[in-house]
Amino acid sequence: MNTVTTGAVDNLRASLRGQLLQPADAGYDAARTIWNAMIDRRPAYIVRCAGAADVLAAVTFARDHGLRLAVRGGGHNIAGSALCDDGLVIDLSAMRSVRVDPLQRRAWVAGGATLGDFDHEAQAFGLATPLGINSTTGVAGLTLGGGFGWLSRTRGLAVDNLLAADIVTADGKLLHVNASDHPDLFWAIRGGGGNFGVVTSFEFLLHPVGPQVSAGLIVFPHAQAKSVLTQYRDLVDRLPEELTVWAVLRKAPPLPFLPATAHGADMVALAVFSPLPMAELKDALDIMRGFGQPLGEHLGAMPYTAWQQMFDPLLAPGARNYWKSHNFTQLGDEAIDTVVRYAGNLPSPQCEIFLGLLGGRASAPAPDATAYPHRDALYAMNVHTRWENPAEDTPCIAWAREFFRASAPYASGSVYVNFLTQDEGERVVDAYGPNLARLARIKAQYDPDNLFRNNQNIRPAS
């Protein structure tokens, strides 16, 4: 790192419309706090940007002074890529504007906006695009990694609905990218993560969704998990694209529709979502109810925004989190047995295993249509290990890694890049597969010195 003079810092501060924070400043510790409490890093500078001009100034400052650079959108990334030690953090969290054109069905979303910000504006017009399952997640990080959620079977991934973006590149330029302007860079940011610059604005295609949707849970005891998952697996190929069902295995929260005796007990829940009315789902729901003897259910019409926030209490900031993940193209009996076995031995009450169902429109594009390549993935499994006490780090992480190894023989070998933890840099090849070589060439063109490396890094082609 080059020496940074007081004068240079003063000049940077004077050039900003936003705020520059250093370790001695009030608000510094709050600004370096992110969702995963396991991440404790102390940057030398945090630039809380107010607009693209501040981003340009911060990128130029970091590059010219040889500073490690991190970019914070929602601060939700499991690996903690929003922060770095000793370097400079570009904090976009104040840039949360969302502008919707309901006639053209377009939304322009700033780089610090959350899913909740987006949903609030788009649902005012009964519009949405496929974005995640937790309202506090940042739109930017989710989209740059590919982005899937409850609408992906019906409308594809977030990157399939991205029409254009504004991005600050390593050379200090602000580029507008789309299918015709810098198409190679536009291809790369649709799944290539934060490797290519700082996206200050996204333009999305919107679709009529809601404001009321059909959604809810059917909950079974863990003793029935093998039977439920086997029948779920057999049903998936017959589900319409408009119906998404995820399987979640964890200890039951104190949900009011469950008997008190079930609270805290191991369970398997089918999380059901559809933009269709409940009446059109009756046959499929009756089949799923018949998978076993449910402990309870809560299904019906509800606001789309309410469903998008349904799991927020289980993903609140401040806990310690460690993930492991596999993609599956099929769910064989051995895979189901492994999931059931480990779900019956969770190391803390907050841990869970979920099988996120894809397919449908998410599988329609070719693997090289975007940088995100995993169009054959039918299930994205996330082993979400979560606990409060640092003394539990060792057993919780060990459980996640052991389950990951036990389930690997039945997985496809690929992985969703947004689910990779900070100790999994070697899995970048699994995240990008056949697209990695092209990504490395584009990286060499737009970031040859690898300024944007505080991520699941794609190294520039030599």
* pLDDT score of 2: 66
pLDDT in tens, 365-394: 999 999 999 999 999 999 999 999 999 999
Q: Residue 21: enclosing H or E segment and its boundaries?
A: strand 19-21
**pLDDT tops 90 at residue 1:** no
Cα 60 to Cα 82: distance, rounded to the nearest angstrom: 18
d(CA 358, CA 160): 14
> Averaged over 98-125, what is the pLDDT?
98
Give strand ranges (E) for 252-346.
Answer: 266-274, 296-303, 320-328
| End-to-end Cα distance, the chain | 23
For residue 104, which of 182, 201, 203 has the smallest C-alpha distance? 203
Distance of alpha carbon 245 from alpha carbon 248, whole angstroms: 10
Q: What is the mean pLDDT of residues 267-282?
A: 96
Distance, CA of 179 to CA of 334 (rounded, Å) = 43
For the chain, which domains are there?
6-91 (3.30.43.10), 98-209+435-446 (3.30.465.10), 212-419 (3.40.462.20)
What's the pLDDT at 345? 95
For 282-335, the pLDDT digits (tens) are 999 999 999 999 999 999 999 999 999 999 998 899 999 999 999 999 999 999
Tell me which DSSP letter residue 149 carries.
-
Mean pLDDT across 401-411? 97
Mean pLDDT estimate for the chain: 96
pLDDT of residue 58: 98
Tens of pLDDT along 334-362? 999 999 999 999 999 999 999 999 999 99
Q: By the 8 A CB rule, do 145 and 374 touch?
A: no
pLDDT (tens digit, 9 = 90+) per residue, 103-115?
999 999 999 999 9
Tokens of 295: 């402990």
| Distance in angstroms (rounded) separating the CA atoms of residues 36 and 321 | 6
Q: How confident is the model at residue 3 (pLDDT cuts 50, 70, 90)?
A: confident
Judge contact between 412 and 428, C-beta under 8 A.
Answer: no
3 state SS of 8 = helix
Contact 119, 210 (CB under 8 A): no
What is the bridge-based pairing of β-strands 266-274 and 162-168?
Answer: unpaired
Alpha-carbon span 71 to 92, nearest angstrom: 8
Q: CA 270 to CA 218: how far, in whole Å? A: 5
